[in-house]
Structure 1
């Protein structure tokens, strides 16, 4: 059986290379690609799934608004989560708490992506910007005392967003979240 191919869309976040390495450590054929890639360039690589990294600002998201609508399993992390929300009709706001910090998460629905992680966990996240309104056809998966939408997923499509960084060691069960996403990719 061939390794799954996962493309990490580089939004210039400080942990983008760590996402890439974490996926490779899990045995994936992971490749970093620029967020300026075209949909055709991405599809030509025949990925099993996409991970959108975090990043400094929405202005640096390149072609992300188009790429995040590709018909593939997608995990959006931080800026990727926010990009997904905007692309599908949700809303963002500036968070009350900027900078990276530990956040206590309440898992309200494990779904596929948070399976085995709840009912509570501690994560590493920035809330400089955050999703303030779920897009239509998305459901809430997790919340915290500082943000009502810490994680979400589409009700029918394999689209998942998390405000936190599962790839960093400060996040409890972050690797489990990545494994759960890879399991989703293997079923598509």
Structure 2
């Protein structure tokens, strides 16, 4: 069950599928199992095309995936959409910024689902859509500088996207205070160590230490066929 206090905070809430059922149940509605389960594409009739359904056609394809559904809504709710088997495909609270939809706007099978989410984020939540990835980078760099101060940082570098992005942010934040370590565990792709070294030297002017540990890792993996056990042993070897 959902704590009703969540809806007293005054913040916008969008319940999707099970989330809509939780919201309705918490605020006085009723959820029942239905023999007419909906799994797949469905035609949805939008009876209220203001707010989150601004710009939608009267009838559009949506994606359903549910067995239970809302069978009764409380007096403070209004139905916004329906399908042939789901009378409450979407609802809104009459006083609070609380919305729910039984279908899934986040999947490609709901062609205009992105517009619905955009309407909620911009029109209901008041966001302006001006955020850029560079804003995150600037904030992350400033946060790193405050946290690290004059200390040094060691970064485990694999050459993959995740560790490379972390290394790039660290380097922009603290420069030569950063030292990176690449562990060659014998499982890298052909020439990958050399590729990482070249890319690193082209973009970073700080230390990169190579640990040659092929024998250790391969010895730990000898005779092991089960993938999960391989992962466990690799992780344990890295920690040691």
- Which residue is 2:126 aligned to? 186
Q: What is the aligned residue count?
A: 126
Rounded to whole Å, the distance in 2 between the matches of 1:96 and 1:72 is: 35
Pairwise CA distance, 1:178: 0.3
Matched residue, 1:118: 57
The answer (yes or no) to whether the contact 1:69–1:87 under 8 Å persists in 2 is no
Structure 1 residues 174 and 64, CA, compared in 2 at 3 Å: closer, same or farther?
farther
Report the counterpart of residue 217 of structure 2 in structure 1: none
TM-score (norm 1): 0.62
Q: Which moved more, 1:66-75 or 1:123-132?
A: 66-75
Q: 1:98, CA displacement in angstroms?
A: 3.2
Contact 1:99–1:128 (Cα < 8 Å) also in 2: yes
**Equivalent position SS for 1:128:** strand
Per the alignment, residue 13 of structure 1 pairs with none
Alignment partner of 1:95 is 2:20? no
Check conservation: 1:88, 1:136, Cα contact below 8 A.
no
Q: Distance in 2 between the 1:179 and 1:143 partners?
A: 21
Higher relative contact order (CA 8 A, sep 6+): 1
What is the SS of the residue equivalent to 2:61?
A: strand
Flag structure 1 segments of 5+ consecutive residues without an equivalent: 1-60
Task: State the structure with more CA Rg.
Answer: 2
Gaps of 5+ in 2: 128-240
Displacement of 1:139 = 0.4
